[in-house]
Every structure is written in structure tokens, then in C-alpha cells.
């Protein structure tokens, strides 16, 4: 225990006890970020802000929401929307926020893939990020159930039914997850708990791991250049800011981030105030009815690509039913991104457009995901079903081909 001398100021009093100076240095003023980056590097801060907005708007909704099949629908559509002062605002922030957070997650994720920010020491950043994607997906799904509209009910029905495809234990597992033989009050209350407590806690934990994972390999840069951060930091601290390749997180990096954030928030609140309807499916304004299936069930836009993979296999192949094939493909689609660092066999850390073969793979994948998303919303009949099948197969083939493509690339560029 160090000896404490009389503090000269309140700041010093706290600094003696909490080491504020040291903490601010480690977390902010001497946390080094590469200089050679662009606005795509602001997505992490945007996501942190979005998550905060979702938590805050969620807290306000939580005060009036009732997780009970008899009361849930009206507590949202009558109490919160009509009676609570600015209740509509918090609901629209929450609903639009849930949609936009996935838009930013996808941009963040594909920025990482484009610049190769998932390999050569950055594997844990990537894996913790993918874990966050899965957790946000679970959070989105459980939250969608809460207004207890027709889409809430049938999305819950269809997605929990998926677990029934697991061999041997499937049927029992579905009943266990729902707490009943069908989606019912017990299902609503347990998913309410998951949505407001367990998954948010897990998300906060995963965010901490994600940030911590950045500490040792450091943030990637536009050129994929590797350099000695300590050396560059010394240059910066010695006053040679111009030749140093790094800037401190605060105030330099964050000031630029806040500029991007400003634009983003204008866009976000434009949606909240003038275009919230895209996040409010009209079907979900009919109260849940277990005895009446809507004519056409589809998820929110951010799940469409994986939903399309799920139903892309509509016929039997080699004695395996279409349903099972769809489930297997769906499971692969949701897990395959985790192993990106090992599927990419090329040592190159460069933007995709500077990589001879990977660039084709990257843009092919983007195009395929767009096709999957568009067709995921359409009824799976006639030609649509075949487009769904072809694009689902393309998705799987792209990932099977990735190690070979990148291996060939490694050979071509000779270990660079």
C-alpha cells in the first residue's frame, strides 16, 4: 500500500484512489489507432452508440410493457403508442434502431472482410465480433416476439420449430424451449427475460471481450500495413506527429468518429421520425392468433438471406428431405463466418481490390447475399424457388471454394 499524501485538489484525491490519470492514458489518450483509415473505421463507435440508444429506449418501453399474452399487444399498441407521453418515440427508436443496428453490423463485418482484418493475429477480434452478431440476432428475434402481433407469433413459431429438425431430441427440445406444445404465454415470458436481461448481459460481456481483443493486434489500416505501434507512438509523443503512423484514440480518432456519427444520427433520426414504417410490419398490427396463419411469413430484412438459405432446398436430394437439407444449410450459413480466418489461406492482408483472386470472391459473395435477401422476401413459388435454390447453393459453394481460391492466390503472390 502506497503512502497517501494530502491531496491538493479534489481531482488529485480521486486520482490517488482510482488512478484516473493512468486509466485515461491506457484507455484514451495513449491508446493508438492507425492514421491511414477512412470513415468505415467509425462503425464500431456507431454500433456502441446504437446499442446505448437501444438500451435507453428499451428501459422506457420496459416501464409499460406487459409480458403476458392477454396484455402484451395492447400494452404496446395502446398504452405505449397512445397514452404514454412520447411512448411512440421510444418505440420507433427501438424498432428502427434494431433494424439500423444490423445495417451497421453488416457494414462493419464486410469492412473487416474487405480489408482482411480477421487474420494474422486478429482472429479473436473477428470471433468475438461474430459472437456479437449471433447475440444481436438472438436479441432481435426475442424482441420481435414481444409486441405479440401475428408476425411476432408466427416468426416465433417457425423459428422454434426449426429446432424440431435436430435428430432424436428435436420434438422434445421444441416443447422445452416453448414451455408448451405451442407458442404460448410461457414462451412469451421466457423470451421476454432473454430479451431484457440475459442476452443484453451477454452482449455487454462480448463487447468488452471484443474491445479487449483489439489491444494486442491493434486496429487494421487501409493498406493492411503491419508496423511497430510502440515505435510510432514514441514518435507521436516526441512531437513528430506528422511522421507518426498513429494517432491517439482520444481526442484525435474520436473527433473524426463523432463527425461520422453526426451524419449517421441525422440519417437515423430522419428514419425514426419520417420513415419508421419500414420497421413496423402491418401484419404485426393484428393480434397474435395461434389458429390463423398469415398467408405469407417472412422475417425482417436482416434475416432474409439466412431465411432464404433455410428454405432454398425444397426438394429431396440423395434421400435427405428438403427440410433437413435446408436446416443443415441454415446451420452452416450461420456458423461459417466464424472460421473465415482459417478458410482464407492467403497470407495477404490487403484491401480486397488489391488481391488478385479474393476480390472476385468478395464481390460474388456480396452479390449472392443481395440475391438471397431479395428472394427471401418473395413467396417461394415457381421460378422464385429455383432462384432461391441456386443462390443458396452458390453461398455454400463460395465458402467451399474459398480455401482453394486463397491458396492459389498465396502461390501467385508468393507469401506477400
Partner 1 sequence: MKDESRRGFIGKAFGAVAAVGGVASLIAMKKTWDPLPSVMTAGFTTVDVSALEANKLEIAVWRGKPIFILKYTEDMKPTDGRTVKVGDFHYSVMIGLCTHLGCIPAYRNDQKDFKCACHGGEFSADGVNKFGPPPRPLDLPPFKIDGNTLVLGEEGPEYKAMMAKAGGV
Measured CA angle at 323 (ends 319, 325), to 5 deg: 60
Spatial CA neighbour of 143 closest among 182, 183, 89, 94:
94
Size of the site for partner 1 (CB under 8 A): 17
In the bound state with partner 1, the residue whose beta carbon lies nearer, of 30 and 185, is 185
Q: What residues have CB less than 8 Å from 145, skipping those under 6 apart?
A: 152, 153, 155, 156, 187, 188, 191, 195
DSSP code, position 288: P
Site track 165-204 with partner 1 (rule: CB under 8 A), x = hit: ----------xxxxxxxxxx-x---x--------------
| Cell numbers given for 204 | 455487454
In the bound state with partner 1, the residue whose beta carbon lies nearer, of 182 and 269, is 182
Q: Shortest gap between Cβ of 273 and partner 1 (angstroms)? A: 36
Residue in 1, 10, 168, 291 binding partner 1, rule: CB under 8 A: 291
Between the two ends of the chain, the Cα-to-Cα distance in Å is: 51
Q: Shortest gap between Cβ of 183 and partner 1 (angstroms)? A: 8
* Cis amide bond preceding 251, omega within 30: yes
In the bound state with partner 1, the residue whose beta carbon lies nearer, of 186 and 353, is 186
Task: Please identify, among the stretches 121-129, 199-207, 213-221, 289-297, the one whose residues bind partner 1 according to the rule CB under 8 A.
Answer: 289-297
In the bound state with partner 1, the residue whose beta carbon lies nearer, of 296 and 416, is 296
Site track 294-333 with partner 1 (rule: CB under 8 A), x = hit: -x--------------------------------------
Beta strands per DSSP E along 156-243 = none
Q: Shortest gap between Cβ of 289 and partner 1 (angstroms)? A: 10
Q: Using an 8 Å Cβ cutoff, are 297 and 154 in contact?
A: yes
Q: Shortest gap between Cβ of 1 and partner 1 (angstroms)? A: 26
**b/e burial code for range 85-110 (CB count within 10 A of at least 16 → b):** eebeebbbbbbbbbbbbbebbeebbb
Task: Please identify, among the stretches 24-32, 138-146, 161-169, 284-292, the one whose residues bind partner 1 according to the rule CB under 8 A.
Answer: 284-292
Q: What residue ranges bind partner 1 (CB under 8 A)?
A: 175-184, 186, 190, 290-293, 295
Amino acid at each position: 500500500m502506497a503512502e497517501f499524501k494530502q491531496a491538493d485538489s479534489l481531482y488529485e484525491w480521486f486520482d490517488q484512489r482510482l488512478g484516473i490519470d493512468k486509466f485515461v492514458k491506457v484507455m484514451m489518450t495513449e491508446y493508438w489507432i492507425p492514421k491511414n483509415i477512412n470513415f468505415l473505421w467509425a462503425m464500431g463507435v456507431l454500433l456502441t452508440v446504437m446499442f446505448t440508444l437501444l438500451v435507453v429506449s428499451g428501459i422506457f418501453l420496459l416501464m409499460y410493457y406487459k409480458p403476458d399474452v392477454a396484455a402484451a399487444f395492447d400494452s404496446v399498441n395502446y398504452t405505449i403508442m397512445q397514452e404514454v407521453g412520447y411512448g411512440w418515440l421510444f418505440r420507433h427508436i427501438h424498432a428502427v434502431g434494431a433494424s439500423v443496428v444490423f445495417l451497421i453490423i453488416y457494414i462493419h463485418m464486410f469492412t473487416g472482410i474487405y480489408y482482411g482484418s480477421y487474420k494474422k493475429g486478429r482472429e479473436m477480434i473477428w470471433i468475438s465480433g461474430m459472437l456479437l452478431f449471433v447475440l444481436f440476432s438472438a436479441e432481435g428475434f426475442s424482441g420481435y416476439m414481444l409486441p405479440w402481433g401475428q408476425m411476432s407469433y408466427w416468426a416465433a413459431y417457425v423459428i422454434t420449430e426449426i429446432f424440431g429438425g435436430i435428430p432424436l431430441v428435436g420434438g422434445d427440445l421444441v416443447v422445452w424451449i416453448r414451455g408448451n406444445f405451442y407458442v404460448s404465454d410461457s414462451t412469451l415470458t421466457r423470451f421476454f427475460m432473454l430479451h431484457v436481461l440475459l442476452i443484453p448481459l451477454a452482449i455487454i460481456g462480448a463487447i468488452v471481450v471484443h474491445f479487449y481483443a483489439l489491444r494486442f493486434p491493434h486496429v487494421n489500416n487501409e493498406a493492411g500495413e503491419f508496423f511497430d505501434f510502440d515505435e510510432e507512438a514514441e514518435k507521436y509523443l516526441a512531437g513528430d506527429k506528422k511522421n507518426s503512423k498513429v494517432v491517439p484514440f482520444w481526442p484525435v480518432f474520436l473527433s473524426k468518429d463523432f463527425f461520422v456519427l453526426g451524419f449517421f444520427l441525422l440519417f437515423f433520426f430522419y428514419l425514426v421520425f419520417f420513415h419508421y414504417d419500414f420497421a413496423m410490419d402491418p401484419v404485426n398490427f393484428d393480434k397474435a392468433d395461434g389458429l390463423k396463419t398469415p398467408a405469407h411469413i417472412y422475417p425482417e430484412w436482416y434475416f432474409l438471406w439466412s431465411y432464404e438459405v433455410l428454405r432454398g432446398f425444397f426438394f429431396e436430394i440423395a434421400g435427405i428431405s428438403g427440410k433437413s437439407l435446408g436446416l443443415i444449410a441454415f446451420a452452416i450459413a450461420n456458423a461459417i463466418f466464424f472460421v473465415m480466418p482459417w478458410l482464407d489461406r492467403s497470407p495477404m492482408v490487403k484491401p480486397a481490390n488489391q488481391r488478385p483472386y479474393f476480390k472476385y470472391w468478395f464481390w460474388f459473395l456480396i452479390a449472392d447475399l443481395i440475391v438471397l435477401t431479395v428472394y427471401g422476401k418473395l413467396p417461394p413459388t415457381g421460378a422464385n424457388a429455383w432462384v432461391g435454390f441456386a443462390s443458396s447453393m452458390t453461398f455454400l459453394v463460395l465458402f467451399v471454394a474459398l480455401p482453394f481460391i486463397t491458396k492459389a492466390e498465396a502461390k501467385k503472390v508468393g507469401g506477400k
